[in-house]
Structure 1
Amino acid sequence: MSELVIRETIGRKKRRTKKAVSGTWVWFIFLLPTLLGIALFTVYPMIESFRLSFTKGAQEQYVGFENYRHVLGSGSFHQALFNTFYIAFFQLLIVIPLGFVIACLINSLRRGRNFFKVLFYIPNITSMVAAATVFLVVLHPHGLLNYALSAFGIPETIWLANPNSARWSVILLASWHALGFGIIINLANLQAISPDYYEAASIDGASRFKQWLYITIPNMLGSLTILIILGWIDGLQRFTEAFMLGGHTGSPARSLYTLVGFIYERGFGGLEYGVASAASYLLLILILAFTFINIKFFRMKI
Structure 2
Amino acid sequence: MAKHNVDISANGEATVKVKAVNSKKRTSQLTWYVFLIPSFLGILLFMVYPIFESLRLSFYQSNGTIETFIGLKNFQTVLTSGPFWNSVWNTFYIGIFQIIITIPLGFIFASLINSTARGKNFFKVIYFLPNVTSIVAAAMIFAFVLHPEMGIVNYVLESVGLPAPKWLSDPSTSKWAVILLAVWHWIGFVIIICLANLQAISPEMYEAAKIDGASGIQQWFFITIPNMAGTFAFLLITGWIGALQRFNEVYVLGGPNGSPARSIQTMGAFIYERGFTGFEFGVASAATYIMFMIILVFTFLNLKISKMKL
What TM-score bracket applies, with the shorter chain setting the length? over 0.9
Deviation at 1:286, TM superposition (A): 1.2
**Aligned match for 1:64, one of 65, 71, 75:** 71
Deviation at 1:21, TM superposition (A): 2.0
Distance 1:76 1:18, change over 3 A: same
AA aligned opposite 2:72: F
| Identical amino acids, percent of aligned pairs | 53
Distance 1:212 1:157, change over 3 A: closer
Could you tell me how far apart the structure 2 residues matched to 1:291 and 1:155 are? 40
Deviation at 1:7, TM superposition (A): 5.2
Q: Deviations over 1:59-95 (max 9, x none)?
A: 2111111111111111111100000000000000111
**Aligned match for 1:276, one of 280, 284, 287:** 284
Asked if residue 300 in structure 1 is aligned to residue 308 in structure 2, the reply is yes
Unaligned segments of structure 2, at least 5 residues: none
Q: Deviations over 1:87-126 (max 9, x none)?
A: 0000001111001110000000110000000000000011
Q: How does 1:144-293 map to 2 (within 5 A)?
A: 144-293=152-301
Q: Deviations over 1:244-274 (max 9, x none)?
A: 2212211122110110111000000010000
**Aligned match for 1:34, one of 29, 33, 39:** 39
Deviation at 1:4, TM superposition (A): 5.9
Asked if residue 89 in structure 1 is aligned to residue 96 in structure 2, the reply is yes
Deviation at 1:45, TM superposition (A): 1.2
TM-score normalized by structure 2?
0.93
Q: Which residue of 2 aligns with 1:73?
A: 80
Q: Which residue of 2 aligns with 1:127?
A: 134
8 Å CA contact 2:95–2:244 kept in 1: the answer is yes
8 Å CA contact 2:165–2:173 kept in 1: the answer is no
Q: Deviations over 1:21-53 (max 9, x none)?
A: 221111111212211111111111111111111
Could you tell me how far apart the structure 1 residues matched to 2:247 and 2:264 are? 9
**Aligned match for 1:21, one of 23, 26, 30:** 26
Helix, strand or coil: the match of 2:221? Answer: helix
Q: Which has the larger radius of gyration?
A: 2
Deviation at 1:242, TM superposition (A): 1.3
Could you tell me how far apart the structure 2 residues matched to 1:230 and 1:6 are? 59
Helix, strand or coil: the match of 1:56? Answer: strand
TM-score normalized by structure 1?
0.95
AA aligned opposite 1:102: F
CA-based RMSD of the aligned residues comes to 1.6
Deviation at 1:282, TM superposition (A): 1.1
